[in-house]
Amino acid sequence: MKWIPIISKGKYTLLQSKSDTQYVVAANYNANAPENEQWSAGTYFCYFDAEWKLEEFQDALECFCYKTECGYITKARLEELCTRFKDKVIELLEEDGLTGEEIEYELERLGLEPYEMEWLGFPEDTDL
């Protein structure tokens, strides 16, 4: 299979197949090596339509960044941290004896957008 390099950093290269069906984050990529020996290890992201292509590109790019940027935090890890912080905030507010309405008020003070509140799992227009 033929590959198109998208970006390289250090020993990693993000590639797209010329057949337009997959991405790979390849270690030690060498374009001049024989076709089946161009990298030592890879993480593959396959797609079959435009919607999947975008999602797989985002995943491949995140994988590339995770491997090449010191201190990079993945989206999955950020989601986990946000959920933990949200749960702790609610726990602390409840320990302070706040009612659902008072908790909602405190959460509003965080300045979250409605879609962010929804993403974090806060119910819409109801007491917590």
Q: Which helix (H) or strand (E) segment is 32 a member of?
A: none
Long-range contacts, 56-59 (Cβ 8 Å, 24+): 56/22, 56/23, 57/23
Q: What is the mean pLDDT of residues 45-70?
A: 96
Task: Name residues whose C-beta falls within 8 Å of residue 61's C-beta, 6 or more positions apart in sequence.
Answer: 14
Q: How far is CA 70 from CA 9, 117, 125, in A?
A: 12, 30, 41
Question: What tens digit of pLDDT does each residue of 22-42 get?
Answer: 999 999 999 999 988 999 999
Q: What is the mean pLDDT of the chain?
A: 89
Alpha-carbon dihedral 43, 54, 48, 73, rounded to 10 degrees: 30
Question: What tens digit of pLDDT does each residue of 78-116 get?
Answer: 989 988 988 887 788 788 887 778 777 777 777 878 888
Spell out the domain ranges in the chain.
Answer: 3-68, 75-120
pLDDT at 14 exceeding the cut of 80 = yes
Q: How confident is the model at residue 124 (pLDDT cuts 50, 70, 90)?
A: low
The pTM is what?
0.73
